[in-house]
């Protein structure tokens, strides 16, 4: 079992957020609908029970923030490839690379919506 089984990243503009995450995460996001609302889903194998799921949502009770918890997302390839797309996609790189030893590499950025987000990869 995973310690986390669902998360939501707040957005102000869902289309802008989709363009950002689609570029940075190599197309590993998709648009979806749940209930009466649109959202962005991370393209992970939900049916296997092994993936931790999450979404990007626009909701009045959630606001983007650079304070608090940092969610680390899979960079889906080389960390440097994802980091190199951040600013072009409307974000800001805070820490371009952290060597985590046997755990790989991470980076910290501000997404297009103003959230502090981490990226993880086994490849620099």
CA 9 to CA 51: how far, in whole Å? 17
Q: 14-53 pLDDT, tens per residue? A: 999 999 999 999 999 999 998 889 999 998 776 676 777 8
Contact 119, 107 (CB under 8 A): yes
Contact 7, 74 (CB under 8 A): no
Residue 71 belongs to a domain: yes
What tokens appear for 116 in the block? 């502090």
Q: 52-68 pLDDT, tens per residue? A: 788 999 999 999 999 98
Q: Is 44 exposed, middle or buried (0-12, 13-18, 19+ CB in 10 A)?
A: middle
Residue 95 belongs to a domain: yes
- Which CATH number belongs to the domain containing residue 42 in this structure? 3.10.180.10
Residue 1 belongs to a domain: no
pTM of the model: 0.91
Residue 59 belongs to a domain: yes
**How many structural domains compose the chain?**
1
Residue 37's domain spans which residues? 6-121
Contact 25, 82 (CB under 8 A): yes
Residue 47 belongs to a domain: yes
């Amino acid at each position: 079992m995973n310690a986390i089984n669902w998360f939501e990243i707040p957005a102000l503009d869902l289309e802008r957020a989709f363009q950002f995450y689609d570029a940075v995460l190599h197309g590993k996001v998709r648009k979806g609908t749940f209930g009466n609302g649109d959202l962005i889903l991370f393209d992970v194998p939900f049916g296997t029970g092994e993936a931790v799921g999450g979404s990007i949502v626009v909701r009045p009770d959630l606001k983007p923030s650079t304070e608090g918890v940092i969610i680390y997302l899979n960079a889906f390839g080389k960390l440097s490839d994802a980091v190199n797309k951040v600013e072009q996609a409307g974000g800001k790189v805070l820490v371009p690379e952290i060597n985590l030893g046997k755990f790989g590499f991470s980076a910290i950025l501000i997404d297009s919506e103003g959230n502090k987000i981490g990226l993880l990869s086994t490849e620099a």
